[in-house]
Chains A and B, each alone.
Chain A
Amino acid sequence: MTATAAPARLTVGIVKFASCDGCQLSLLDLEDELLDVVRKFDIVEFPEASTSRSPGPYDVLLVEGAISTEDQRREITELRSKAKTLVTIGACASYGGIQALRNWMDHDAVRAAVYAHPEYIDSLATATPVREHVKVDAELHGCPINQDQLRELLASVALGRRPQIREEAVCLDCKRRGNVCVLVASGMPCLGPVTQSGCGALCPTFGRGCYGCFGPKELANARSLADSFLVGREPADVGRLFAGFTAYAEPFRSIVTEMGGIRMDPTGPASARPARGGNA
């Protein structure tokens, strides 16, 4: 790509499946740079923000949400054929999201627990990442995604280079910020050491352990961290620590399974129950 010529704007589509729309909002939240973005990109499909629609094809397709229904499964295959570059945005599209907790549970029981009329709900037994259905060119992680990373991804597409997104544990951002480690200094369980950075160590900065929103980092040794959590904790409690927005991502998935899976217990703690008010 030559920099001096004024190239035609790249067409961009932004679509969603089973998700909360939060990641799409991250694009709209790029307030200071939004004008640059629309100058550089022709956003032709973005139902969250615009009534004008386009059936494609797209130079870049940003996909939010997990594949949770039969219709979605068909639709993603069709969209893939229209997209030159397909990028998943967020924990749902990249890892199945919080709704993937049902993958460990009885589908009918989950539907019955969540919806007053489960007979109207036509969902798949599992909520799965886009990657399990079509080829994905890049994934942005997080719940929600990080605006800077989205910006960097768009810049890299515009300039035809690799996105410069660091692959490292949350701990690196945490210590660069000068936080005191909540895990070592207070014994609070924290998934930071095995979780991909990108959030700027948001939770530990406010004295909370990391929930693993960005999913497992490269070569995440979840087993060793889980082993250390088992000291003084029940396996089910350790499993629950990994059973968040990226529970279905390996190796978190194996830990959740080994610690007894996820029980549906309407009287139990909220985190053991399926997500309320899901889109599927």
Chain B
Amino acid sequence: MVTGTNAAEALALDNATRAAALADGAAQPKSGPWFLLRANLQVLIDELRADGRKVIGPRVEDGAIVYSEVTTVTDLPEGWGDVQDAGQYRLSRRRDRKLFSYNMGPASWKRFTFPPVVPLNIGRREGREVTFEPAPLDPPRLAFLGVRGCELAALGIQDRVFLGGPYTDEDYRARRAAAFVVAVNCTTAAPTCFCTSMGTGPEIRGGHDLVLTELDEGFVVRAGSAAGADLLARLPVKAADAGQIFRAAGAIGKVAATIGDPLPTAGLHDRLLAQFDSPQWAEIAERCLMCANCSMVCPTCFCSSVTQRSDLDGHVSTSERVWDFCFTSSFARVAGGNFRNRPRDRYRQWLTHKFATWIDQFGTFGCVGCGRCVAWCPVGIDVRKELMSIAPPLAACPETADCKPVAASPTEYATARIRSIRTETGDVSTLVLGDVDSVFVSGRPGQFAMIALPAYPPMPISISRYLPDGIELTIRAAGPATARVIELGAGAELGLRGPLGTGWPLEQAVGRDVVIVTGGIGLAPLRPLIDAITAQRPRFGTVRLFYGARTPSDMLYRTELERWARNSNIEVALSVDRGDERWRGPVGLVTQLFDQATWDGSRAVGFVCGPERMMQATAESLEERGLSDDRIFVTLERHMECGIGLCGHCQMGKLFVCKDGPVFSMAQLGQVFGREGI
């Protein structure tokens, strides 16, 4: 296996070192992790080669780090790093001598598991007879050295694509089975990286035979398979010490923190599929070159075409499978036309496949967040930016876990100043609070805040609007404390904690119809939801609002109700329990109003706020209309003091209304809802 005198000497030397190391350490520890000195990395390469494998690893070639054969450690990119951004890649020298401190280059392991050109068969015709001779499967025995977390995830995705269904690709299977995987945890990140968003890295989570984490003096090593353990037993390793383990974990953790979460993926599938008609597809197409570089560097893109080469007589033809992509003109062409003729169609096909329909087909995103498509796009189109622009998260803070209250402890209140107070009805007013903590900017519709005034008990109040620099709270003078707050007047300060609780899951309504049913002050917690809908109106189907009040003068936000109906294409239906001389609309309970309307709920999501009995009746009606209980959402009122699930007041069966709610689906609530005395 070893060629050249120097390599042979190196091997002899390393064998001696290894023997000494093994003698010194007596036996390898039973449980990992282990530590492989940098000087002994050559032993790993040699052992892989001794197994009859060609080792493929990172090398500097033509101004980038690519994957090709390595025979000695000196082939590896010692001290090389890279500078990357959208449409940009440059090699750079590092201050250290690390071997694996580079980021993803243009090459991926796809080239070895799914090569660009693979012979398929040779067809022959003699007289009236035809034969097809399949090309033999002859996969090379390879070892992949330096596979990163995102790349392992990509191999896993291609496994699902090629091997996961009833029909499988035998060429891929053979190549994959013949490859040994030495993974390396990332201890560096580029601005193009977003594995953290896609949940694929930086830490290796499986699919490897061995995994290394590089430190200056060597590698922390773990086995991930029987074959890996077998090889490890032949390496001169010692037990990693606590310091080495700690430093390795720290280096990986630092990478994760550096990358952050550049592409929030919550609800992305639905968000994106609701945007088939977005004008932005045409806008991207003005920049997109349709050169397919994004898909070629993508480690998961798997499309191909079959090309034939025949002799002039048509007696012999050779077929090959070649990489092909949804950006080429022939990809969706049939006799007489092309199903995806426009650039916008092709880009939309690619992006919606990677980030939405791939999930329907294979159960995962078609993206691992390696960032290659960002760096290697000649005109620097960044999928993360395009996705955030075409299908933005509905709130800047989509995961409930990230929406931490401004002051978690009930003892810590920030102060906010009342900028103005607006009277809505006889006993309801809206406070406009300015100078609120910036965390409120990322609050979700349906969340609430705790407000406090010394000497009064704290009050949980739904947030009735998010402003760029403040919030609105619509308050009914239901008791002495709320009455006192309304009397404070502009300029006064309040204690404020929040935003607290869950919000309305508007994500689930994208691409569907929306029905909102509420009465009286129940409209207040729904107003931010309606704001969010009107801001992105095309993303929803028919939107209906049923709103009831005791009398016409008890209706909140009268001018806004008109505006929503007039400007935002929301079907607003109003009713009152008792009319007055000017009321021309229906009289009766909102539930009756709602029952009389004719509409189909099978595509709808329901949002309901009101007294519990009303919500229960409404939910039943909605279910009769075809809404399942996991698509009907209600918001509950309970005695809340801490707002974070610690004080116990608001418990309702297994739930705390403050932290598990106040918004729940009917499915979540189950039998506790509407039951007296819970």
Contacts and interface: CB of A to CB of B under 8 A. Distances in A.
Interface in B298-323: 305, 307-314, 322-323
A24 B155 CA distance: 47
B339 to A, nearest CB: 14
B385 to A, nearest CB: 16
Nearest to A167: B329
A69 to B, nearest CB: 35
Interface in B433-470: none
A167 B379 CA distance: 21
Contact of A169 (B128, B292, B343): B292
A164 interface: yes
A113 B343 CA distance: 43
Interface string A202-220: 0000010000000001111
Contact of B322 (A159, A176, A217, A228): A176
Nearest to A207: B62
B325 A185 contact: no
B291 A180 contact: no
B314 A155 contact: yes
A228 B296 contact: no
B328 A167 contact: yes
A120 B420 CA distance: 90
Interface string B322-343: 1111001110000000000001
A176 B89 contact: no
Interface in B33-87: 61-64, 66, 87
Nearest to B117: A176
Interface string B370-390: 000001111110000000000
Given A179-B62, A180-B62, A158 B312 contact: yes
Nearest to B287: A224
Interface string A177-201: 1111111111000101110000000
B377 to A, nearest CB: 8
Contact of A183 (B90, B288, B313, B378): B378
B106 interface: yes
Contacts of B314: 3, 155, 158-159
A130 B286 CA distance: 31
A217 B330 CA distance: 12
Contacts of A184: 87-89, 106, 375-378
A151 B377 CA distance: 34
A265 to B, nearest CB: 30
Contacts of A154: 312
B107 A225 contact: no
A62 to B, nearest CB: 15
A179 B107 CA distance: 9
| Of listed A37, A190, A221, A223, residue having the most chain B CB within 10 A | A221
Contacts of B90: 185-186
B364 to A, nearest CB: 24
Nearest to A40: B312
A219 B327 CA distance: 10
Given A184-B87, A225-B379, A164 B66 contact: no
A185 B291 contact: no
Interface string A126-158: 000000000000000000000010011011001
B290 interface: yes
Contact of B323 (A172, A180, A207, A225): A172
Contacts of A181: 89, 106, 293, 376, 378
A31 interface: no
A191 to B, nearest CB: 10
Given A181-B106, A184-B376, A193-B378, A159 B310 contact: yes
B665 to A, nearest CB: 46
A168 interface: yes
B4 interface: no
A190 B311 CA distance: 34
B307 A171 contact: no
Interface in B125-161: 125, 127-128
Contacts of A171: 291-293, 296
Contacts of B297: 175
B518 to A, nearest CB: 49
B292 A224 contact: no
A175 B296 contact: yes
Given A180-B106, A181-B378, A155 B312 contact: yes
A175 B378 contact: no
A233 interface: no
| Of listed B62, B125, B311, B313, residue having the most chain A CB within 10 A | B62
A152 B309 contact: yes
A119 interface: no
Contacts of B293: 171, 175, 181, 193
Contact of A228 (B325, B329, B379): B379
A33 interface: yes
A166 interface: yes
Contacts of A186: 63, 90
Contacts of B285: 221
Contact of B289 (A36, A37, A148, A224): A224
B422 interface: no
Nearest to B314: A159
A221 B289 contact: yes
A4 interface: yes
Nearest to B335: A162
B308 A228 contact: no
A4 B9 CA distance: 64
Contact of B313 (A152, A158, A168, A225): A158
B313 A40 contact: yes
A155 B311 contact: yes
Contact of A185 (B64, B290, B296, B328): B64
Nearest to B125: A3
Nearest to B91: A185
B253 interface: no
A151 B312 CA distance: 8
B111 interface: yes
Contacts of A221: 285-290, 343
A224 B291 contact: no
A181 B380 CA distance: 13
A190 B287 CA distance: 16
A135 to B, nearest CB: 20
A36 B312 contact: yes
Contacts of B89: 181, 184-185
Nearest to B341: A219
A252 to B, nearest CB: 14
A166 B307 contact: yes
Contacts of A218: 329
Given A4-B128, A171-B292, A221-B290, 10 more contacts: A36-B312, A152-B309, A155-B310, A167-B330, A176-B117, A176-B322, A178-B66, A185-B62, A219-B290, A228-B378
Interface of A: 3-4, 33, 36-37, 40, 148, 151-152, 154-155, 158-159, 164, 166-169, 171-172, 175-186, 190, 192-194, 207, 217-221, 223-225, 227-228
24 contacts: A4-B128, A148-B309, A155-B310, A164-B307, A166-B305, A166-B328, A168-B330, A169-B289, A169-B290, A171-B292, A175-B296, A176-B117, A178-B116, A179-B62, A180-B62, A180-B106, A183-B378, A184-B375, A184-B377, A207-B62, A218-B329, A219-B329, A221-B287, A224-B379
Q: Which 9 A-B pairs have the closest CB atoms?
A: A193-B291, A176-B116, A218-B329, A180-B62, A175-B296, A193-B289, A169-B291, A168-B328, A180-B64
